[in-house]
Structure 1
């Protein structure tokens, strides 16, 4: 089934696409539908790909932001909620044109609680210009619906999901709008249990066979809120203030077993269990102050942000022999992590008869304070400090940036170019190990973009950009984070930033979009394993590779079969080849894979909408690892009630429980192991979304975005 179903979907999609291209009658029907219906669901607009969400039948069964994003061309969402574009890029998330400074967990909570009914459109910028921060290799800009009525409005959404556990997510949003001031409040509450499983199979140097199994149910009791006000104090000038918080309270229990037999798998060598009870808490706070003004053809925007994330976690880790029940190890840990991010940014643009000039600057200061303390039970049954594992790590990073860009339209050509320069100063201080690493470097980042309008429905674009990727705090932190007693991850404070040169070619015809990205990343960062043949400890370390070549081609193909049957397919193929020096040999294995993600949407009688979503990714990997094929099928049913005010949805995710991420190490003479991650994707979700409120009359919307205009909002 795992092989037949994706292949069947792929053949069906090709057949339908061929019919749409070769059949004159079908083509005429398709064109008629697109001319008379809403704007195309996917279209190219200057340097970005815009996906219309509001009013689009393809998204009617989408429960939240994640359901919407998984239909974006080239974008994958991991079982842990991580976003990955073209199989290698973690895109930055913007909301209404502004970057979101949230921790990964806070961002995932925001997207999970963001109802699809609140989203107007999504813009994908796969090769950002010099106007954007150099760390952004790609940008996903989520544009929310803007209410143009005065008075108050409200929206309440609630979802309940069930697999082996129950989990609920509840959101309330209230907006009060006057002629000059808009007030906004958003409250969120999640409660319930999620599940994660990790397993590994490893042939040890002694020829013994080791099986690792970890099960982690986590109970959540999380609360979030957001308060904001937008004041239009003069014509074409406004100031906006937002404050948000995400408060995480969790109770987790990790149960791990290590089961080892001899090479014949007949005789037991050892069998241990490790129980880890921990209660992670996190407090995320974000303050944004934004000013925007326009004087004739001159625009100025000022943005200041302050973000703070405080994490506390205590662990109680006990390892014992399953047969004898003898206690082998007993640890207690205490983790304290504080991260602060301060940014200030100014952007100025001026339209002239010779084109549009833009200039701006940005300063960001990030500081992290991380301390972890281990206590180990000794032979006298007394807990004593474990200096071998305890550590104290501080990291400070200062980034100063400035850019200048120019845009001009010449006939059917849209041309733009710019240069960004960034200065980075960082200090990584491992206090316990008494090692300080300082970095001080200047980076020049050019970018150009050219687009040509062939006809009203056709456009071709070519762009080049150089971006920089700085190692994040987790990659630099020299702490040990254990997956099991014999497996841990540790950071490398000596990591260098990587630089990526990317060339992107985009062609659109009506709703069909084709994109090619190719380039090289130098000093690319990699996690690699080191295996101790004596202790059987497997540790994952970080280092820089010489370079990595990549290329990706993506096709987005939406079309209408009949009035009641629409579909969209995103097909992509990735190529990557890393130069990885490892154990005296440089491995350079070229890996090519392909993926297909499709959605079949049926408009049924009684105003029901039924959606079948499926995805398949072929065998993939890098020079050191092989990633096994991955596939899944989701279904959803949606209906609107009360003149569209109430939306109900029921979704069945991962129907065949097939979403298990498995990788195998290529060089079995060094390490012969296989790892699998399972995130409990199979679940049934029931969701409700209700809009309410009382408005007086419509007011003129000064800054209504183009996506909303084209969607007829």
Structure 2
């Protein structure tokens, strides 16, 4: 009993995993503790806490050796959840911005998912997670994931090609290639990616209607992919301390989507059929992206300059053909067609200058970001004369322009064991939302001050305390503003709101690290948070999700990460998080302030097997959660992976079996059944087998001399 209790205490309080010896003979407690502690080995600093950010080593790390792509790597990071649709959620509440080598990239959500799916873990040196960004970063970034690609310091040419084949009821293949050529002055990089195949997703809902009938909604969405991307880069060393970087990229996402929907309603006893309909929705969404980045870095003595510029064009096109029929008679009930056109143009320019003042370091910068969005959605409905006519109630044109002018100043100073960084950022936003068809124009013009403070205290060379305070702003995204109807089913759609206000978040974070062990806590309040809420029409039985601002929400979380090596053939990583959230939610004359608490447990158990094989068990569990209006069911999955390298490491094979028990689904139940008695579920088809094969080749000759890094890179540990 004492030994079992000791094992639990050491695991929970000390963060250690013990390998016990088989014995029946009693031993003194001190001897047992000494024996057990001798058998514990803490892993080298895979996770490191550096001035408010968590840094994870990826390349050469056993914990990530079996990951098929960058998405699999992100799933293993503490505090980060990767949704079934590829969405990212940090610390249970924040959608993080993704950086590449410390630089923001103007990519759409779909382009990011395509990029990360085709990015091999072998290309990633490290990943940084910043939960509470300082004033140096754009105010809209409440969390940052910085992916640092592996630097290649060899001259000559190298390459790597890989293919990943996924199989469940459908098949999909992700293929990518990386080719580099380096000289002393120039470095060329080419990345290509191609995805083909099919994925599946299901949406189910059960709703008690106003007339006491029960309606079941079942939707199956099958998506066929034909996507490719090309990225070309060139780096030129102008002088010893000056460098130019040019990056050109394009991605093309071409899909066909076939959705099959049934609406089946019965009486309250589920015996007599009230109505039953079927719906077929054939869509052909396309996205074509073009972008260019030109960057310049220079150093003069102790002064550094970095200039980042970018141009991006994102074009979306989609046509839909939707037919609703009576499932009992086969009669055509509704038939409409849509044509959607969406164009987004983004132009940014940013300059950062840093140097030394007294015994500290200063940094100042300015940024200009101009975004223009043009969107039109046309509905044609089949009338009784069997002719398509324009549906003026749903046809709309929407334009949105947003200009952001920002500047910041930070100062860093080390005082004995303290390292202090204080900053202030100002952002002026001017926006115009024009719902042309509705003849509604909304203008915004506001200035926001965003201060930050970061204090790091070195307890010992291996122990560190960190405190950070910041204020951030979240502007409404285009989908939240767009007043168009996007349908889940014939009786279920969501619509944006051009009148939404930006939200502001004040947050305080405290973290402690001791070698590989880290623990962090965050609390704060967000004013005017944006959300979608359901509105039910009892006459038509239509359930619409509308956008609005809430008065505020309070949040708090505590997260810990414990990577360990048990012995030579077994290492592990354990992540535990506890979360709290309370929204003030006015709804139908009542204000709901329901506190929501939940926890997550995730981790990996990695085993080094004979013959060079590596076996990995990944797991994730989230307890019941939700929000002020919905109760959420638990979410979980278990993944298995097997990896081996061949031909002196040039050939790498990985076999993954994801979500082996088919348990990953998002389920929500509406709390106030007197208003809406509704429950829904999203299933993403994550249960699948994935085979990944990669091969490296090239004729690199010798290592080039490392270029001097600018101050930003040094602070980022690059």
1:218 matched to which residue of 2?
A: 223
Partner of 1:54: 59
- Normalised by the size of structure 1, how large is the TM-score? 0.96
- Tell me what 1:253 maps to: 258
Output aligned runs, 1:299-318, within 5 Å. Answer: 299-318=304-323
Match of 1:4 in 2: none
Which residue is 1:422 aligned to? 427
2:354 maps to which residue?
Answer: 349
Q: Distance in 1 between matches of 2:387 and 2:321?
A: 15
Deviations 1:162-192 (A, max 9, x none): 0000000000110000001000111111100
1:642 to 647, 656, 668: 647
3-state DSSP of counterpart to 2:701: strand
- 3-state SS, counterpart of residue 89 of structure 1: coil
- Could you say what secondary structure the match of 2:59 adopts? coil
What residue number does 1:295 align with?
300
Write the mapping of 1:257-656 to structure 2, written as runs, cut at 5 A.
Answer: 257-656=262-661
* 1:5 corresponds to: none
Report the Cα distance in structure 1 between the residues aligned to 2:267 and 2:712, rounded to whole angstroms. Answer: 63
- CA distance in structure 2 between the partners assigned to 1:16 and 1:361 by the alignment: 45
Map Cα deviations across residues 415-459 of structure 1 (whole Å, 9 max, x no partner). Answer: 100000000000000000000000000000000000001111110
Q: How far apart are the structure 2 equivalents of 1:703 and 1:581?
A: 56
Q: Is the 8 A contact 2:297 2:710 kept in 1?
A: no
Q: What's the counterpart of residue 137 of structure 1?
A: 142
1:171 matched to 2:171? no
Aligned match for 2:232, one of 211, 227, 230 = 227
Aligned residues: 699
Instruction: Give the Cα–Cα distance (whole angstroms) in 2 for the partners of residues 16 and 683 of structure 1.
Output: 37
Cα distance between partner residues in 2 of 1:82 and 1:252: 19
Contact 2:16 2:40 (C-alpha < 8 Å) held by counterparts: no
Seen in structure 2, the aligned counterparts of structure 1 residues 19 and 243 have a Cα distance that, compared at 3 Å, is closer
Distance apart, 1:26 and its partner CA? 4.2
Question: Could you say what secondary structure the match of 2:420 adopts?
Answer: strand
Asked if the contact 2:316/2:341 (under 8 Å) is kept, the reply is yes
Q: 1: CA distance between counterparts of 2:105 and 2:578?
A: 30
Q: Deviations over 1:371-430 (max 9, x none)?
A: 000000000001111000100000000000000000011121111000000000000000
Could you tell me how far apart the structure 2 residues matched to 1:523 and 1:314 are? 35
Shift of 1:29: 4.7
The 1:18–1:237 alpha-carbon spacing in structure 2 relative to 1, beyond 3 Å, is closer
Report the secondary structure of 1:217's partner residue. strand
Deviations 1:348-390 (A, max 9, x none): 0002442000000000000100000000000000111100010
Whole-angstrom CA distance in 1 between matches of 2:212 and 2:557? 40
Tell me, what secondary structure is at the counterpart of 1:697?
A: coil
Q: Tell me how far apart the structure 1 counterparts of residues 288 and 74 of structure 2 sit (CA, whole Å).
A: 26
1:561-590 CA deviation, whole Å, 9 max, x = no partner? 111111111100100000011000100000
Match of 1:201 among 191, 199, 206: 206
2:422 and 2:711 map into 1 onto residues whose CA distance is 23
Spell out, residue by residue over 1:610-654, the C-alpha distance to the aligned partner (whole angstroms, 9 max, x if none). Answer: 000011000001111111001110000001111111111000000
Is the Cα contact below 8 Å between 1:145 and 1:708 reproduced in 2?
A: no
Q: Rate the CA distance shift 1:161–1:183 in 2: closer, same or farther, 3 A.
A: same
Is residue 18–residue 39 contact of structure 2 (8 Å, CA) maintained in 1? no
Distance 1:510 1:557 in 2: 10
* C-alpha spacing 1:224/1:503, structure 2 compared with 1 (3 Å): same
Q: Cα 1:340–1:26, aligned 2, differ >3 Å: closer, same or farther?
A: farther
Q: Is the 8 A contact 1:214 1:255 kept in 2?
A: yes
Note the alpha carbon deviations across 1:317-360, whole angstroms, 9 max, x for none.
00000110000000011000001111000000002442000000
Q: Shift in Å at residue 27 of structure 1?
A: 3.9
**Cα displacement string for residues 664-711 of structure 1 (whole angstroms, at most 9, x for unaligned residues):** 10011100101100111000000011111001211111257999999x
What is the CA-CA distance between 1:495 and the residue it aligns to? 0.3
Q: Is 1:181 the counterpart of 2:186 in the alignment?
A: yes
Partners of 2:270 and 2:310 lie apart in 1 by 58
| C-alpha distance in 2 between matches for 1:702 and 1:476 | 45
RMSD: 2.0
Q: Do 2:17 and 2:564's aligned partners in 1 also have CA atoms closer than 8 Å?
A: no
Instruction: Write out per-residue CA displacement over residues 109-147 of structure 1, whole angstroms, 9 at most, x where no aligned residue.
Output: 000000001100001111111000000001110001011
Q: Is the 8 A contact 1:506 1:516 kept in 2?
A: yes
